[in-house]
Structures are given as structure tokens and as C-alpha cells.
Amino acid sequence: MKKVFENEVAVIPADEINGALKHTFRQYIQGNLKQDQDISFIRTGDSEIGISDYKEYSHDDPHYHDKVMETNYVISGKVCMRIIDTNEDYVIEAGGVFSIPPHVKHVLKIKAGTRIIFVKTPSINDKHVLDFDELDLNAWFEDEDF
């Protein structure tokens, strides 16, 4: 049963999280969430915490934030992060962490089987999505060897 925890001890069982991730690639477990979640979550405005589970090779939309700092821990798999303004690529493998401050335009390509825990501070939606095709990222994405 889905529950919203607020100012109380919270326990979200692994089977609830894993069950939800069978049907979607991302679930938030903490934050000032506006959209319904398939799992129980902890309500707070200070930060967002979630899990992304990529079953297939994929990419996130290129984007940046005005105020949000993103920190990501790669549980399994492998990610390549490109900083758009400099074309610098960073490869992060399981056990690695990467963090992106506000105003840094970035995009990720993600190997199949990758699972990431992410933290966003503060818990606000200030994401500005950039046009993938306009940035000419297709050749970069098609190169799966990283």
C-alpha cells in the first residue's frame, strides 16, 4: 500500500521499489513531489531522492537547472556524461559518483542494466530541456563504446 511519510520514520521495502521499477524506469522516494508515485515516498522540500533503472541503452534529455544541484551514485552499469558547452565526456562506472551544479548544460547516455540513485537539492522542478537534435548529439549517442 502506497503511503506518504511526513515527519515520521519511513520504511519503503525493496519489493515495493523493485516492483514499481518493473513498469517504469524512474521512481522518486523523497521530495516535494507533485505527481503520483507508484511507491511510498517521504515528503520534504529540502531534497529529492530517486532511483533510475535503465533496462535498455538510453539517454536522458539534455538539460540544465537554474538552482538544483544533482548528485548521482551509479549502483550498477555505466554512464557517459557530456558537458554540452565544452564537449567534455566523463565515464562513470558502478560505485562512482558524479555531481552537476546549477547552470551546467549536460546530457547522459546510459548502458543497459544501469541503476542510479540521484539526489537533487532543493526539491523543485527547474529543469530546462534542450533540443537533442539541435545540439547535434545523434552521432555521440550512437557511439555505444564508452
pLDDT of residue 52: 97
Rounded Cα distance between 111 and 15, Å, is 24
Over range 45-58, report the average pLDDT.
96
CATH number of the domain to which 91 belongs: 2.60.120.10
Q: What is the pLDDT of residues 91-128, one digit of tens each?
A: 999 999 999 999 999 999 999 999 999 999 999 999 99
pTM of the model: 0.92
Q: What is the pLDDT of residues 13-51, one digit of tens each?
A: 999 999 999 999 999 999 999 888 889 999 998 999 999
Q: What is the pLDDT of residues 78-88, one digit of tens each?
A: 999 999 999 99
Beta bridge partners of 71: 99, 119
Query: Which domain, by its residues, includes 112?
Result: 4-142
pLDDT of residue 4: 93
Based on the structure, what is the number of domains in the chain? 1
pLDDT of residue 120: 97
pLDDT of residue 1: 67
